[in-house]
Amino acid sequence: MTKKKLMILIDKDTGYPLCARGHVRSPENLQKSGVCKICARDQQRKYQKNNKAKVKERNKRYKANNKEKVRESNLKYYIENKEKLNEYSKKYFKENREKLIEYNRKWAIENPLKIKEHQESYVNKNREKINERQRKRYAENPEKYRQVNRERVNARRRKNYELLTDSYMAELLGIKLKDCPKRLIELKRKQVKLKRKINKELELAKNEEKA
Ligand SMILES: [Zn+2]
User: Is 22 within a domain?
Assistant: yes
How far, in Å, from the CA of 15 to the mean position of ligand 1? 16
How far, in Å, from the CA of 26 to the mean position of ligand 1? 11
How far, in Å, from the CA of 39 to the mean position of ligand 1? 4
Exposed e or buried b for every residue in 2-39, given b needs 16+ CB within 10 A?
eeeeeeeeeeeeeeeebbeeebbbeeebbeeeeebeeb
Instruction: Give the pLDDT score at 123.
Output: 92
How far, in Å, from the CA of 4 to the mean position of ligand 1? 20
How far, in Å, from the CA of 41 to the mean position of ligand 1? 9
How far, in Å, from the CA of 84 to the mean position of ligand 1? 29
User: Is 45 within a domain?
Assistant: yes
pLDDT tens sequence for the chain (211 residues): 455 566 788 998 899 999 999 999 999 999 999 999 999 999 999 999 999 999 999 999 999 999 999 999 999 999 999 999 999 999 999 999 999 999 999 998 899 889 889 999 999 999 999 999 989 988 998 999 889 989 999 999 999 999 999 999 999 999 999 999 999 999 999 999 999 999 999 999 999 888 7
Instruction: Give the pLDDT score at 1.
Output: 47
Going by the DSSP 8-state scheme, the letter that residue 181 receives in this structure is: -
How far, in Å, from the CA of 43 to the mean position of ligand 1? 10
Round to whole Å and give the CA distance between 91 and 93: 5
Round to whole Å and give the CA distance between 22 and 111: 53
Total tally of structural domains belonging to the chain: 1
Instruction: Give the pLDDT score at 170.
Output: 95
User: Is 15 within a domain?
Assistant: yes
8 A C-beta contact, residue 36 and residue 23: yes
User: Is 42 within a domain?
Assistant: yes
List Cα–Cα distances, 153 to 108, 115, 135, 159, 205, in angstroms: 25, 24, 19, 10, 33
How far, in Å, from the CA of 34 to the mean position of ligand 1? 11
Range of the domain at 18: 10-51
